[in-house]
Amino acid sequence: MRRSLSDVHIPDGYLSPATCAAGYAVAVPALAVAVRKVKTVVKTRQVPTLAMFSAVSFLVMMFNIPIPDGTTAHAVGAGVIAIVLGPWAAMIAVAVALLFQALLFGDGGVLAYGANVANMAVAMPFVAYGLYKLISGKSELTSPRRVLAAAVGGYVGITVAAVLTGIELGIQPSLFHDAAGAPLYSPYHLSQTIPAMLLAHLLVAGFAEAALSGGVVAYLQRANLPLLRANDSELKRPSLGWAAIGVLVVLTPLGLLASGEAFGEDAPESSRVWTAILFDGYSFGGPPWLAYVVCAAIGVAVVGTTVFLIGKVRTRR
């Protein structure tokens, strides 16, 4: 069983080495700054909350949603993490999730990791956070305006990430081709990639991201209002949060119900530079639903633990 990849997860083989290098040129300095910023923007008691949100990001990316053209897409969760803990913390949480998706499950490329980070862990949380702050203004934390601001931020943030992905894929045929004009990497032109990305995210994935962002903010307004104040408190009753994650893990096989593959995911296996993938396509030979649940649990444990350790190390210095 091969899981359908997100249309914003770029696999290896679709971007030229030069484009991959440009992605890393953006991602590496941004992550370096984010690691330093975590010490000042995330308090020690909030590290478990950050780890929990990173696990949620990993999980929501496993829930594929069918698109009218026969492909699939999904939410990312970067927007709501940025809104609650700040864009720098969101950058680390999503970047770690993307890293282990690529290394353990073959979801997204290793060479293309820098581009994926630039799109989903850098651009997306900052766009979502900026719009949230712009729309919410000085409104009360309990104001419905905050929920709307979070929803709009999430919607626009993931759409911007999708457009960036479309541009990166779409410029490949024009810039990198052989003497006969045949594409060396992505075969899709901008006239194909941009509409495909916009269709998936304006119509479906954007609303999923909006529901996630707005829903979490609405919940926190009732259950843990101080958490909406930057670095003001820790997550109350964290056991409920981890219980919710457990429910999501059990429900992940719902992501298998979406038929079709995401646009641009059919990269040849020979294009992979990382072959030590333990659970390729979120499977290991057993029943697909069981494999999906086990892989979800493994991903949550690895991603959450890694982000927790990063947060602990940085906040103690």
Q: Does 297 have pLDDT greater than 90?
A: yes
Q: What is the domain range of residue 287?
A: 17-316
The confidence score (pLDDT) of residue 264 equals 47
Is residue 197 assigned to a domain?
yes
DSSP output for 143-205: -HHHHHHHHHHHHHHHHHHHHHHHHHHHTHHHHSB-TT--BSS----HHHHHHHHHHHIIIII
Is residue 42 assigned to a domain?
yes
Q: Which of 183-197, 229-243, 246-260, 281-295 has the lowest mean pLDDT?
A: 229-243
Mean pLDDT in residue range 71-100:
94
Mean pLDDT in residue range 124-150:
95
DSSP output for 38-58: HHHHS-GGGHHHHHHHHHHHH
- Do the Cβ atoms of 70 and 263 come closer than 8 Å? no
Answer with the residue of higher pLDDT: 50 or 248. 50
The confidence score (pLDDT) of residue 231 equals 45
* Predicted TM-score of the model (pTM): 0.90
In this structure, what token pair is assigned to residue 247? 């429910």
- How many domains is the chain built from? 1
Is residue 1 assigned to a domain?
no
Q: Does 256 have pLDDT greater than 80?
A: no
Is residue 255 assigned to a domain?
yes
The confidence score (pLDDT) of residue 3 equals 36
pLDDT tens digits, 216-243? 999 999 988 888 875 444 555 566 777 8
Answer with the residue of higher pLDDT: 280 or 4. 280
Q: How far apart are CA 96 and CA 52, in angstroms?
A: 12
Residue among 114, 106, 107, 100 at smallest CA distance from 32: 114
Q: CATH code at 126?
A: 1.10.1760.20
Is residue 10 assigned to a domain?
no
* Residue 117 banded pLDDT, cuts 50, 70, 90: very high
The confidence score (pLDDT) of residue 4 equals 37
Is residue 12 assigned to a domain?
no
Q: Which residues pair with 72 in a beta bridge?
A: 66
Mean pLDDT in residue range 180-199:
92
Looking from the CA of 169 toward its CB, the CA atoms found within 13 Å total: 31
Mean pLDDT in residue range 30-56:
87
Is residue 91 assigned to a domain?
yes
